[in-house]
Amino acid sequence: MFENNRILLKLKKKLKINTPRIEGIVKKSEKGFGFLEINSKVSYFIPPKKIKKVMHGDKIIARIGFSKNREIVIPEKLVEAYLTTFVGRLQKINKQFFIIPNYPFLKECIPCNFLIQDLDLFQSGDWFLAKLTKHKLKDNNLFHAEIIKFISKKEDPFTQWWVTLSKYNLKFSEPKFLIKTNNFLKDKKKRTDLTHLPFITIDSHHTQDIDDALYITKIDENFFKLTIAISDVTSYIHYQSELDIIASKRGFTNYLPGFNIPMLPRKLSENLCSLQPNKKRSVVVCEIIISKNGKIKKNSINFFLAWIKSQEKLSYTNVSNWLENKNSWKPSTKEIEKQILTLYDFYVSRIKWRKKNSLIFPERLEYKFYLSKNCEVSNISIKKRRIAHRIVEECMIAANCSAADILFKNKYHGLYNIHLGFDKSHSNQISLLLKKYNIFIDSKKLLTLKGFCDLYRILKDKKYKYLKSRIRKFQSFSEMSFNPYPHYALGFKRYATWTSPIRKYGDILNHRFLKSIIFNKKPINLNNNILQKISDQKRKHRLSEREIEDFLYVKYFQKKNFNNKIFNAEIFEISKGGIRAKLLENGASIFIPNSFIHNVRSELECNQDDGLIFIKGKIFYKISDIIKVILIDIRIDTKNIIAKPILVLK
């Protein structure tokens, strides 16, 4: 009898109007309920009936309420939908079409209609690109989508590749650009003829897009003269031409497990621009003189255009084996043998100089997937960087430092790779943390290049492994800038890459800046939009590679029975939900839920900020620890590998 009471209805309306509203991100669980996350420490429960009106990841405004003496929130207004254009699987139910988004916590079957033809060719499980057109919070309690592009049939062995590339709006293949003849050279400028010099290239066996060649001599006992020849891609591609615009949009060659997708047409990247042996090629050359102690003579740096003819394509494996006295391979001529030995001597002197005057970070383990024709993972191995890799790397680092110095000295525009060390707001916190370990570096000094380098030379000691992991959280990220800021992580005042123009559009831009200096011409004018485009593409490439690798890991472990095998894993993150770690044998990321760490939840504390796990008040795990684990569950849908430590406290 109270339902139609006007006074009560007015009171309810008034209470509803005055109820507080909050904004946050929807986080759904696999069990049908969810939370509205306000920040990393505050969240509100969304009841199962109300969670159906929103999707995981939606930004919404919700009304705070109570249910069964518990504070809850009721979704009211959509601020920003998580889904816009998305990838999903087709589902046919009773002659109706639905699409299921390809996201772990999005299980909705969204009704859809087609903007494409030949519907009879498609079946449940095929993959499409779709666009969300209606949302329950704003469109009459209805979700709806339009299918706009076919991606892949469900039985295609490369489906995961096409789905992931579509998700990040990345290309599937090389640019479709017709290069009619081999005489495609656009830049006919006069070049120095260096074809008589015994340049060599050192790459992987399978590499076709060869963009650097090396020649070195000893001037006397005290100096090396190193000549780095880099493929002159811009002699084939004019600024703002059709092909230049294509390359600028792609940003990079995309290297994925199984294949690569080149930034440039293969006719250029693997033929006309590739520094293949015994082929006359146009190059940009950097000549530098390096003293016996490894220091570059600044006034010796010289950039110019040239022709070269590489004498031989060498492999990292063969060169490393020969230098390490392994296997039977040996250089084909005395001249090539001399080049390898002199390059090795240069490397030894240069690495000694860098250890004292810049930074050399420990190498991270990298892993290689071996795939069958059906894209099944037959094996995963550690990619070992050997002495030949390091020789080439030191040559390229010297070339990039030299380019940065020339660009800066001539006050020409340049695209610099920068890393600004620690954020100023964290310097006092870092200094106090260091004091706990008897490392005394003033907070102001930490913000200088010298202070940053001094700190990391101390932290290279293994006893500071945990501290180093903590400190890394305060570091800034590497960026690109037209301003010549330092690169703290490398320990250089300036750094500008130009040695991979076949694979990186940013290096193409630096070739154009360097040519402006060579020919004393006004450089091209660029704005920060191009930097944002390159950065966005780099991020997308990194995410796509990671997603495909995660997929391959779960398929690999699902196929092979590793239930009883013990793995060593390194902890890299501690969250309120558990531990994330990496299997050292193959690089797979695993998750260890709290329930597998300790079975009494009240005795367990996960300190996310300090990277520590306490059990009964004592430190039991910390980031950087190597622990032994076994695998418990492989989850294909979420691409998660669940593990547990062998030792669990009772």
Residues assigned a catalytic role: 203, 209, 211-212, 316, 503
DSSP summary character for residue 349: H
Torsion angle, alpha carbons of 27, 31, 32, 36, to 10: -20
DSSP summary character for residue 480: E
**Cα within 13 Å of Cα(157), Cβ side:** 8
Helix (H) / strand (E) containing 93: strand 85-93
Name which of 112, 115, 116, 87 is nearest 102 in CA terms.
87
- 575 forms bridges with which residues in the sheet? 578
Q: Which residue has the tokens 């880099």?
A: 230
Which of helix, strand or coil describes residue 297? Answer: coil
Q: CA-CA distance, 378 to 360, in Å (whole number)?
A: 34
Q: CA-CA distance, 42 to 215, in Å (whole number)?
A: 60
In total, the chain counts a number of residues equal to 650
Residues contacting 330, CB < 8 A, separation 6+? 322, 337
Helix (H) / strand (E) containing 91: strand 85-93
Q: CA-CA distance, 380 to 552, in Å (whole number)?
A: 10
The DSSP secondary structure of 110-178, one letter per residue, reads EEEEESSS-GGG--TT-EEEEEEEE-TTTTTT--EEEEEEEEE-TT-TTHHHHHHHHHTT--SSS----
Using the Cα atoms of residue 136, residue 139, residue 143 and residue 145 in order, give the sign of their dihedral: negative
* Token couple for 311: 């004498």
Question: Do the Cβ atoms of 75 and 62 come closer than 8 Å?
Answer: yes
Q: CA-CA distance, 628 to 277, in Å (whole number)?
A: 48
Name the percent of the chain in helix, strand, coil, to the closest 5: 30, 30, 40
Residues contacting 13, CB < 8 A, separation 6+? none
- The strand pair at 192-193 and 302-309 is best described as parallel
Helix (H) / strand (E) containing 347: helix 334-357
Question: Do the Cβ atoms of 233 and 363 come closer than 8 Å?
Answer: no
Packing angle between helix 528-559 and helix 242-250, nearest 10 degrees?
50
Dmax (CA) of the chain? 106
Question: Do the Cβ atoms of 630 and 585 come closer than 8 Å?
Answer: no
Is 528 buried (19+), middle (13-18) or exposed (0-12) by CB count in 10 A?
A: exposed
Question: Do the Cβ atoms of 618 and 603 come closer than 8 Å?
Answer: no
Q: CA-CA distance, 265 to 233, in Å (whole number)?
A: 12
Question: Do the Cβ atoms of 154 and 241 come closer than 8 Å?
Answer: no
* Token couple for 514: 């360097």
